[in-house]
Homo-oligomer: A and B are copies of this chain.
Amino acid sequence: MSTDALTFQRVPIPEGFLDRLVARFGDNFAIGDAICMQHGASETHFETVLPDAVVFARATDDVVDCVKLCAEAQVPLVPFGAGTSIEGNTIPVCGGVSLDLTGMDRIIAVHPEDFDCVVQPGIRREELNVHLRDTGLFFPIDPGANATIGGMASTRASGTNAVRYGTMKDAVLGLTVVTPQGEIIRTSRRARKSAAGYDLTRLYVGSEGTLGIITEITLRLHPIPEAISAAVCGFETLAGAVDTVVQSIQSGVPLARVEILDAMQIAAVNKWSKLDLPELPTLFFEFHGSPAYVAEQIAIVEAIAGENGGGDFAWSNQPEERTRLWRARHEAYYATVNLRPGAIGWATDVCVPISRLAECIAQTREDLDGSSIPATILGHVGDGNFHVVFSIDPAAAEEMAEVEAINARLVERALAMDGTCTGEHGIGIGKQHWLEEELGGSVDVMRRIKQALDPQNLLNPGKIFSL
Contact code string A291-320 (vs B, CB < 8 Å = 1, else 0): 011001000000000000000000000000
* A157 nearest CB neighbor, chain B only: B195
Assess the B427–A252 pair: CB atoms within 8 A: no
Nearest-CB distance from A100 to chain B (Å)?
23
A413-449 interface with B by 8 A CB criterion:
414-415, 418-427, 431, 434-435, 438-446, 448-449
Query: Is there contact, CB below 8 Å, between A189 and B292?
Result: no
Contact of A185 with B441 at beta-carbon distance under 8 Å, contacts A351-B191, A354-B192 already known = yes
How far apart sit A250 and B114, CA to CA, in the bound complex (Å)?
Answer: 10
Shortest C-beta distance, A297 to chain B (Å), equals 9
User: Scoring A residues 117 to 144 as 1 if CB is less than 8 Å from chain B, else 0, what string do you get?
Assistant: 0000000000000000000100000000
- Residues of chain B lying within 8 A (CB to CB) of residue A114: 353-355, 384
A206 contacts partner chain B, Cβ-Cβ < 8 Å: yes
The answer to whether A194 touches B296 (Cβ under 8 A) is no
Hey, which chain B residues are within 8 Å of A442, CB to CB?
185-187, 197, 200
Closest B residue to A86 using CB positions: B195
Q: Which of A39-47, A162-170, A328-336 contacts B (4 or more CB under 8 A)?
A: A162-170
- Most chain B beta-carbon contacts within 10 A, residue among A170, A186, A251, A449: A449
Q: Is the CB of A445 within 8 A of B179?
A: yes
Q: Are B439 and A187 in contact (CB under 8 A)?
A: yes
When chains A and B are docked, how far (Å) is the Cα of A355 from the Cα of B115?
9
CB distance from A436 to the nearest CB of B (A): 10
Considering the chains assembled together, what is the distance between the CA atoms of A411 and B211 in angstroms?
30
Residue in B closest to A295 when the chains form the complex, CB atoms:
B292
The reply to whether the CB of A190 lies closer than 8 angstroms to some CB of chain B is: yes
Determine if A188 is an interface residue (Cβ-Cβ < 8 Å). yes
Kindly list chain B residues whose C-beta atoms are within 8 Å of the C-beta of A169: 199, 202
Once the chains bind, are A415 and B189 in contact (CB under 8 Å)? yes
Among A157, A194, A251, find the residue whose CB has the most chain B CB atoms closer than 10 A.
A194
Q: Write out the residue numbers on chain B whose beta carbons fall within 8 Å of the beta carbon of A215.
A: none
Name the one of B188, B421, B441 contacting A184, with C-beta atoms under 8 angstroms. Answer: B441
Q: Which of A149-208 contact B (CB under 8 A)?
A: 155-158, 162, 166-167, 169-170, 179, 183-200, 202-203, 205-207
Q: Does A11 touch B at the CB level, under 8 Å?
A: no
Q: 1/0 contact trace for A354-387 toward B, CB 8 Å?
A: 1100000000000000000000000000011100
Question: Min CB distance, A179 to chain B, in Å?
Answer: 7
Q: Closest CB-CB distance, A194 to chain B, in whole Å?
A: 4
Q: Determine how close the nearest CB of chain B comes to the CB of A200; give it in whole angstroms.
A: 6
The residue among A188, A351, A425, A440 with the most chain B CB atoms within 10 A of its own CB is A351
Within 8 Å of chain B (Cβ to Cβ): is A246? yes
- Would you call A63 an interface residue if the criterion is a C-beta within 8 Å of the partner chain's C-beta atoms? no
A185-B440, A296-B290 known; A422 and B251 CB under 8 Å? no
The 3 nearest A-B residue pairs measured at CB? A452-B452, A202-B202, A194-B420
